[in-house]
Amino acid sequence: MPSLGLSETSKGADLLFTELADAVRYSQNWARSIKEQGEARVRTEEQVDELGGLARRISKAFDDLHLDVEDSETLSRKIGEFAALAIGQTKERVKAKLESTLNGMQSESRSEELKAKRSLESYLAATPLPVTDEGISLELSDSSYSAKAEYKCSGEIEYEFLLNTAASPQFRGEFTFAGVLKGARLPVRLGKTWLRKEPVADFEKLDDYALAKARASKSHLEATFVNHGTGSGVDLVFSRSGNESFVTIEYSDEKGKVDVTGEAALSKHLDLQLMKGATGRLLDAILDLRKDKLQLDKLEVAGENVLETLDCLGFMQRVVVVLAQSKESMNAMNAVDPKMAIERLTLLGPSGTKMMETLGLVKRSDR
């Protein structure tokens, strides 16, 4: 599918050192917190095991006493009961301390995870990477639309944003064909009347047909409209190149499928220019949804789910390699304040130093 347009590299260049670098730091804080939680669990398990061993040692200590059996059993029982109570209470305190510690740590890790994802969202929302393929999908469910923008970039980077259809004047509710062309009629079959010898076109009114699903790019649209009352449907495929545009239309109902634009006897009754204009307006309305991104829903690098692993450092390293291979991106990088960029990358330690070298920041700062 054709790309929707060039990336906003000039804006994305600054965001690499702010939002994406922040995402790395937050993800490192998250990873450190997760590691500390694991260590705290291990320490608690060891302490609980030690307390269990203490109970066994206390019990065994009576084996070496030179007492009568009755006295030995009585003493063992009394001390054992006391020890079991004390050890049990200590175990509960140890576990309670762990729970309290974990609650604080988990709150911290959730906060760092959320901040990392929000920083990733802020970075990618600017479309900072060279895009190789881009599209928008839209689907109707329970009288409302879900929509997402999908991006494929160099370096096997793919991501998706959920789009805010509720903010759209066209797609906040069910969208009908009348929204792009009122009174449209589609010739769907030919019939005969006793007054005329030539076949007469049977027209279907499209005003009440609702958009069920669509997939769009800058120059291409595939859309399906349905009539909820009759179950009939209309499939549209539209493309444009410069001043030229093309549309194909298929109609389907319980009698079967009809290629409206492919059958000359039907297409001559179709106002093709009006349909081209309507589908073009629909395409533009769907593309306009990109302006209101709602949430980053997917981020993958070479098949790895970054939102799940939160490997923001690995993602940033891949991004830097991709940008370094793009002339347009490097031109934008040259406009970034090198002092700011170096200060931000220095916070990431040795990995940040390596990225400086890849982007040529060290040489620039020496000038």
**Per-residue confidence (pLDDT) for residue 225, from 0 to 100:** 98
Q: Are residues 217 and 341 in the same domain?
A: no
Domain that holds residue 68: 1-131+308-367
Q: Quote the tokens at residue 60.
A: 């065994």
Q: Pick from 148, 143, 151, 198: which is nearest to 171 by CA?
A: 143
Strand partners for 295: 162
Do 111 and 183 reside in the same domain of the chain? no
Whether residue 57 is found in the same domain as residue 102: yes
Considering the domain architecture, whether residues 185 and 227 belong to the same structural domain is answered as yes
Contact 173, 162 (CB under 8 A): no
The domain boundary, picked from 255, 290, 325, lies at 290
Residue 5 covered by a domain: yes
Q: Are residues 284 and 321 in the same domain?
A: no
In the prediction, which pLDDT does 92 show? 77
Domain assignment present for 254: yes
**Residue finishing a domain among 290, 324, 350:** 290
In a domain, 332, yes or no: yes
The answer to whether residue 295 sits within a structural domain is no
Backbone angles phi, psi at 269, to 5 degrees: -95, 0
- Other CB atoms within 10 A of residue 355 CB: 25
Three-state DSSP class for residue 190: strand
What's the average pLDDT block by block, 10 residues per block, for the chain (367 residues)?
A: 45 88 95 83 74 69 59 65 74 76 80 96 93 95 94 96 95 95 93 66 94 96 96 96 93 94 91 94 96 96 96 96 90 88 93 92 57
User: What pLDDT does 198 receive?
Assistant: 72
| pTM for the structure as a whole | 0.80
Which of 261, 290, 319 is the last residue in one of the domains?
290
| Same domain, yes or no: 218 and 127 | no
Q: Are residues 2 and 126 in the same domain?
A: yes
CB 358 within 8 A of CB 321: yes
Cα-Cα-Cα-Cα dihedral sign, residues 97, 99, 100, 101: positive
**74 and 193 share one domain:** no
Verify that 196 and 266 share a domain, yes or no.
yes
Q: Please check whether residues 197 and 263 belong to one and the same domain.
A: yes
Which pLDDT value is given to residue 65?
56
One domain, residues 171 and 119:
no
Residues 279, 179 within the same domain? yes
Beta strands at 256-259 and 144-153: parallel, antiparallel or unpaired:
unpaired
* Predicted pLDDT at 114: 95
Asked whether residue 189 is domain-assigned, the answer is yes
Structural domain contains residue 55: yes
Q: How many domains does the chain have?
A: 2
| ∠ Cα 250 255 257 (to 5°) | 20
Q: Is residue 116 part of a domain?
A: yes
- Locate tokens 């970075």: which residue? 123
- Judge whether 143 lies within some domain: no
Give the per-residue pLDDT at 7: 44
pLDDT attached to residue 3: 43
